[in-house]
């Protein structure tokens, strides 16, 4: 055995020593201050002009529950439409074809450029422009019958969402290394297959946090559909307080439901993120 050179002296063996737990005084003090402020706010509300019994009574009222179900149905369907349109438009935008590019850019320009509430009102009132719609000679119907609040809300919210989502998707696709397109082409994939099999799955990792944002935004944007009589939770809450004048109580009921839904969505997003992070966590040696 070759002798190792003698180690220099003056460096004590620390291997038995523990790392101290720092007291973190500042964290404790700031946490205490925040709790104090929150307690003050809670006290103010408890003593304010709010009849809390109305809140608890209407929190689980049938009309409110139907409203929140309608809110969720609309949010999921409109978001699905938005993501579908967003992917298609993002692919068009990144295509070498100038016609597709221009159409995609025009779509984004139009639907991002006007207020959502205005778009909802336009869809709902489509009958004023086109009394009957259909395919000439084959089929036609009265626009008033077709353009229900549900369909108008779905089209308004989904198509508007698509314009925003397309930019999120485009950012995700741009974040994937060019070498990945080349590697996909090298094993014989066409452009669309490479996008679907190789690029989009990698883009998803980048895209999920902003899409989570967009979806949470969508849950709350459905409340705008109350102006076109879609019976989502805010619309139903309003209808109740028109009758009983308990305005603040019912707004709190609706607010609590929105908070609950968003609280459930956040952990779901984390699960999705973990799924799409496969292969990116690097092993440390």
Nearer to another protein, 15 or 280 (CB): 15
What's 135's DSSP letter? Answer: E
CB of 5 to another protein, least distance (A): 7
Instruction: Examine residue 278 and tell whether it contacts another protein (CB under 8 A).
Output: no
Question: In angstroms, rounded to a whole number, what is the distance separating the alpha carbons of residues 89 and 100?
Answer: 9
CB of 22 to another protein, least distance (A): 7
CB of 94 to another protein, least distance (A): 20
Instruction: Examine residue 2 and tell whether it contacts another protein (CB under 8 A).
Output: yes
Q: Is the torsion defined by CA of 164, 167, 169, 171 positive or negative? A: negative
What's 133's DSSP letter? Answer: E
Binding part of the chain for another protein, among 2-10, 45-53, 83-91, 130-138 by CB under 8 A, reads 2-10
CA distances to 59, 188, 270 from 263, in Å: 17, 44, 12
What's 228's DSSP letter? Answer: G
Question: In angstroms, rounded to a whole number, what is the distance separating the alpha carbons of residues 84 and 91?
Answer: 11
Instruction: Examine residue 4 and tell whether it contacts another protein (CB under 8 A).
Output: yes
Nearer to another protein, 24 or 112 (CB): 24
CB of 175 to another protein, least distance (A): 13
Binding test (CB under 8 A) with another protein, winner from 46, 129, 186, 284: 284
Nearer to another protein, 15 or 47 (CB): 15
Nearer to another protein, 19 or 44 (CB): 19
Residue carrying structure tokens 């229900």? 148
CB of 209 to another protein, least distance (A): 22
Residue carrying structure tokens 């984390």? 270
Q: Which residues contact 162 (CB under 8 A, 6 or more apart)?
A: 81, 82, 83, 84, 85, 86, 89, 107, 111
Instruction: Examine residue 47 and tell whether it contacts another protein (CB under 8 A).
Output: no
Q: Report how many residues bind another protein under the rule CB under 8 A.
A: 20
Q: Taking CB under 8 A as the rule, which mask of x and - marks residues 7-36 in contact with another protein?
A: xx-xxxxxxxxxxx-x--------------
CB of 8 to another protein, least distance (A): 5
Structure tokens at 40: 């003050």
Question: In angstroms, rounded to a whole number, what is the distance separating the alpha carbons of residues 268 and 126?
Answer: 37
Strand partners for 139: 135
Q: Taking CB under 8 A as the rule, which mask of x and - marks residues 226-265 in contact with another protein?
A: ----------------------------------------
CB of 38 to another protein, least distance (A): 30
User: What is the total residue count of the chain?
Assistant: 285
CA distances to 54, 104, 125, 269 from 213, in Å: 32, 23, 30, 10
Q: Decide: 133 and 140 in contact? Cβ < 8 Å.
A: yes
Interface with another protein (CB under 8 A): 1-2, 4-5, 7-8, 10-20, 22, 284-285
């Amino acid at each position: 055995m070759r002798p190792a050179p003698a180690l220099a002296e003056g460096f004590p063996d620390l291997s038995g020593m523990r790392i101290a737990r720092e007291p973190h005084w500042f964290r404790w003090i700031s946490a205490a201050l925040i709790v104090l402020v929150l307690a003050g706010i809670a006290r103010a509300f408890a003593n304010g002009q709010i009849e809390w019994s109305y809140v608890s009574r209407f929190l689980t009222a049938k009309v409110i529950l139907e409203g929140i179900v309608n809110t969720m149905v609309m949010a999921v369907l409109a978001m699905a439409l938005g993501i579908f349109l967003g992917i298609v438009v993002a692919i068009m935008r990144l295509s070498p074809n100038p016609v597709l590019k221009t159409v995609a850019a025009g779509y984004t320009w139009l639907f991002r450029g006007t207020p959502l509430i205005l778009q909802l009102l336009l869809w709902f009132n489509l009958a004023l422009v086109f009394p009957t719609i259909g395919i000439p000679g084959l089929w036609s119907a009265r626009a008033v019958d077709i353009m229900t609040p549900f369909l108008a809300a779905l089209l308004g919210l989904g198509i508007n969402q698509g314009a925003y989502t397309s930019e999120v998707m485009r950012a995700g696709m741009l974040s994937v290394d060019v070498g990945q397109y080349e590697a996909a082409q090298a094993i014989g994939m066409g452009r669309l297959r490479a996008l679907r099999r190789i690029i989009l799955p990698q883009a998803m990792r980048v895209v999920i946090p902003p899409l989570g944002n967009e979806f949470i935004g969508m849950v709350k944007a459905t409340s705008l559909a109350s102006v076109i009589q879609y019976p989502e939770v805010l619309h139903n809450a309003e209808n109740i307080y028109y009758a009983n004048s308990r305005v603040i109580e019912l707004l709190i009921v609706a607010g609590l439901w929105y908070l609950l839904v968003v609280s459930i969505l956040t952990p779901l997003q984390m699960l999705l993120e973990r799924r799409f992070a496969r292969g990116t966590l690097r092993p440390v040696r």
